[in-house]
């Protein structure tokens, strides 16, 4: 996942849940079928109709659960909280039921036979892991809707059919079955990892890396011919670079689902054969999107297939912490940037800027072990280390890449670590990698060099990363200026009427001035605010200022108000990474090797 807007999840208050989960095991059930109703009547109520049918061989209780989270989105969302009108029947007769915990229902069949369980699902959440509807559209993820029999494992096939308007489309990565809008999945993991778009949306496809790559975009008008061509152009450049690292494209086809709106939970969520992105309408032409897509695409290997053993198999009933998210997310961030350079989409300067940005992010965070930051993703810590496993994990990936190349005269790299782990754990055994397997492969790639000290100090410890000395090995150097600049503590969105506050941090300067969500910002001091770029002008204009307040002019309804904004300066590191002139031939070769990758020297897949 990558999150671009900090969202205040009220849901987190629920994370303090009592450990009262049921450990009861369901009677075995078979012939499992789901029917989802997403027609105009249902989405008009912002509801999805869900029905599950199955066969049960006795009158023993059937115990069904909904997931508490969605893989990739490492926070507890409790999808069951959106369920209403829960109703189990057999041959049209209502069956007795009760709740066993937050997400689990016990149903009492009267005899062996067929059972049907139906409910309504509230689909109004702006979150790329949760169902959402519009008058002509529905998005859902299987974790939201598909009940599973408790304690019976996840290796059972299922059939899904979607009931919708005849003229509406359905897009999913799931295998099609006989009949219109019917699909199958081999097991529950696949079933819940294939998001759906239903309704009126744009769909287009092209061949890249010998696979069908599709764009499914809502609203339909957001996929203009220019954006379609540009997006396919980006994908055509970076997908082959990812394939070169791992030696294969492991999906039959791949779908880039994208929804744009004036209010989004911006960012992306990865799946095994798709990604779901949410983008502000005002940013549909922003060039950061190439990096977002690239990050999510690399996840098709790293985390959806090559995954820490702690996350294999996924459990759905509770948090599943791991100290290795820095590999799953941080190293993905690193390769997301590398792939855009290796594919020729961005130049080397952009990659060096990316590394500089990771250095600045780490420098601006409290000293935190990246393994602890990984573990803490589930509680979204408030000490400033939230999400640190992205930049610090990315930076550690870069450092390891350079150290490995230095140890072998640029003959091996982090690419070898990624490919060998992918083959030896996921491909050959369908399992996750352990910590010792990770470090063994890093050491093997680096000609047997020990990384025990590196792991102790920089991954499991809180020592400052050896950035300067490792940059030198790649003929690079870092320069950082510390800047004190004003911050407002708000999230905003821009539309045709101007720029509005969407959220306020309760302790931020804008909140102290009396600004409210929904206010349109007109100006701050001497700076006129028209879009997000205006804030860069505001910050640089007032960097280091000795003023204590500034006039903040906002439009609220029909009124124009001038508020007094207290100036709150915070520290930012303005960082650059650049090539060193006259670096050694070895260092130049390493720098060049990073930018082109290592596929030419890697063995083919066994
Ligand atoms: Zn990610």
**pLDDT, tens digit (0-9, with 9 covering 90-100), for 238-295:** 999 999 999 999 999 999 999 999 888 889 999 999 999 999 999 999 999 999 999 9
CA 155 to centroid of ligand 1, rounded, Å: 26
Run of H or E residues at 442? helix 435-445
Residues 444-454, mean pLDDT to the nearest whole number: 98
Strand partners, 90: 93
Euclidean distance between CA atoms 559 and 36, whole angstroms: 46
CA 295 to centroid of ligand 1, rounded, Å: 6
DSSP 3-state of 481: strand
pLDDT of residue 144 exceeding 50: yes
Least confident of 126-140, 478-492, 496-510: 496-510
Helix pair angle (348-363, 391-407), 10° resolution: 120
Q: 108 near 97, Cβ under 8 Å?
A: yes
CA 269 to centroid of ligand 1, rounded, Å: 7
pLDDT for the residue 266:
82
CA 491 to centroid of ligand 1, rounded, Å: 21
Strand partners, 183: 160, 176
Euclidean distance between CA atoms 490 and 542, whole angstroms: 17
Confidence of residue 206 (pLDDT cuts 50, 70, 90): very high
Higher pLDDT, 72 or 23: 72
pLDDT for the residue 263:
86
- Around Cβ 376, how many Cβ atoms within 10 Å? 22
Place of tokens 């926070």: 75
CA 43 to centroid of ligand 1, rounded, Å: 30
CA 332 to centroid of ligand 1, rounded, Å: 7
Confidence of residue 364 (pLDDT cuts 50, 70, 90): confident
CA 128 to centroid of ligand 1, rounded, Å: 13
CA distances 432 to 180, 303, 395, Å, are 37, 9, 23
CA 1 to centroid of ligand 1, rounded, Å: 3
Which of 107, 109, 133 shows the shortest CA–CA distance to 120? Answer: 133
pLDDT of residue 12 exceeding 70: no
Least confident of 97-101, 235-239, 295-299, 484-488: 484-488
Higher pLDDT, 74 or 503: 74
- Around Cβ 211, how many Cβ atoms within 10 Å? 18
Q: How many CA atoms lie within 13 Å of 460's alpha carbon, on the beta-carbon side? A: 9
Q: 456 near 462, Cβ under 8 Å?
A: no
Higher pLDDT, 564 or 601: 564
Place of tokens 């008058």: 135
CA 502 to centroid of ligand 1, rounded, Å: 24
pLDDT of residue 7 exceeding 60: no
The mean pLDDT of the chain is 94
Which of 447, 430, 308 shows the shortest CA–CA distance to 377? Answer: 308
pLDDT in tens, 374-431: 999 999 999 999 999 999 999 999 999 999 999 999 999 999 999 999 999 999 999 9
CA 567 to centroid of ligand 1, rounded, Å: 34
Higher pLDDT, 493 or 556: 556
Euclidean distance between CA atoms 6 and 258, whole angstroms: 19
CA 297 to centroid of ligand 1, rounded, Å: 9
In the structure, ligand 1 is a single-atom ion and the residues with CB under 5 Å from it are 1-2, 329
Pairing of strands 62-65, 83-90: unpaired
Euclidean distance between CA atoms 6 and 75, whole angstroms: 14
CA 414 to centroid of ligand 1, rounded, Å: 18
Place of tokens 């369908």: 430
> What is residue 271's DSSP assignment?
E
CA 105 to centroid of ligand 1, rounded, Å: 32
């Amino acid at each position: 996942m990558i999150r671009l807007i900090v969202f205040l999840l009220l849901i987190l208050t629920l994370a303090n849940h009592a450990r009262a989960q049921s450990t009861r095991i369901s009677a075995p059930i078979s012939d499992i079928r789901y029917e989802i109703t997403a027609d105009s009547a249902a989405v008009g109520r912002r509801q999805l109709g869900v029905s599950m049918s199955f066969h049960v061989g006795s009158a023993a209780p059937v115990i069904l659960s909904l997931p508490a989270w969605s893989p990739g989105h490492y926070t507890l969302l409790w999808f069951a909280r959106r369920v209403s009108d829960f109703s189990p029947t057999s041959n049209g007769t209502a069956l007795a039921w009760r709740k066993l915990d937050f997400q689990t229902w016990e149903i009492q069949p009267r005899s062996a036979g067929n059972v049907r369980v139906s409910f309504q699902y509230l689909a109004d959440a702006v979150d790329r892991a949760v169902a959402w509807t519009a008058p002509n559209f529905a998005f859902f993820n299987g974790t939201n809707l598909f009940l599973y029999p408790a304690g019976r494992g996840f290796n059972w096939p299922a059939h899904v059919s979607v009931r919708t308007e005849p003229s509406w489309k359905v897009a999913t990565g799931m295998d099609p079955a006989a009949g219109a809008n019917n699909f199958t999945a081999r097991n529950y993991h696949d079933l819940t990892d294939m998001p759906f778009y239903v309704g009126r949306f744009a769909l287009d496809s092209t061949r890249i890396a010998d696979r069908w790559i599709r764009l499914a975009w809502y609203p339909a008008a957001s996929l203009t011919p220019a954006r379609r061509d540009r997006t396919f152009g980006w994908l055509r450049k970076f997908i082959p670079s990812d394939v070169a690292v791992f030696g294969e494209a492991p999906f039959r086809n791949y779908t880039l689902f994208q929804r744009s709106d004036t209010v989004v939970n911006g960012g992306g969520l990865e799946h095994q054969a798709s990604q779901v992105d949410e983008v502000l309408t005002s940013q549909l032409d922003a060039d950061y999107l190439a990096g977002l897509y690239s990050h999510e695409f690399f996840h098709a290997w790293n985390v959806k297939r090559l995954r820490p053993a702690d996350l294999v198999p996924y459990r759905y009933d509770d948090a599943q912490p791991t100290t290795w998210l820095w590999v799953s997310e941080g190293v993905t961030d690193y390769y997301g940037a590398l792939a855009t350079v290796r594919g020729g989409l961005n130049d080397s300067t952009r990659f060096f800027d990316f590394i500089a940005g990771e250095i600045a992010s780490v420098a601006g965070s409290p000293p935190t072990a990246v393994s602890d930051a990984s573990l803490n993703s589930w509680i979204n810590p408030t000490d400033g280390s939230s999400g640190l496993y992205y930049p610090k994990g990315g930076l550690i990936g870069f450092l390891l890449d350079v150290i490995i190349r230095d140890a072998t005269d640029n003959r091996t790299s982090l690419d070898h670590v990624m490919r060998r782990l992918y083959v030896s754990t996921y491909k050959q055994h369908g399992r996750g990698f352990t910590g010792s397997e990770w470090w063994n492969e890093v050491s093997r790639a680096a000609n047997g060099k020990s990384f025990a000290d590196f792991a102790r100090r920089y991954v499991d410890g809180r020592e400052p990363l050896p950035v300067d000395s490792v940059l030198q090995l790649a003929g690079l150097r870092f320069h950082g200026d510390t800047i004190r600049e004003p911050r407002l503590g708000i999230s905003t969105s821009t539309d045709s009427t101007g720029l509005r506050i969407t959220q306020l941090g309760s302790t931020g300067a804008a909140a102290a001035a009396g600004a409210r969500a929904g206010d349109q910002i007109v100006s701050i001091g001497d700076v006129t605010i028209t879009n997000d770029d205006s804030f860069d002008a505001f910050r640089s204009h007032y960097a280091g200022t000795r003023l204590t307040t500034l006039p903040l002019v906002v439009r609220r309804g029909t009124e124009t108000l001038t508020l007094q904004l207290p100036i709150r300066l915070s520290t930012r590191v303005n960082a650059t990474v650049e090539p060193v002139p006259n670096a050694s031939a070895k260092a130049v070769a390493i720098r060049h090797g990073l930018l082109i990758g290592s596929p030419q020297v890697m063995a083919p897949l066994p």
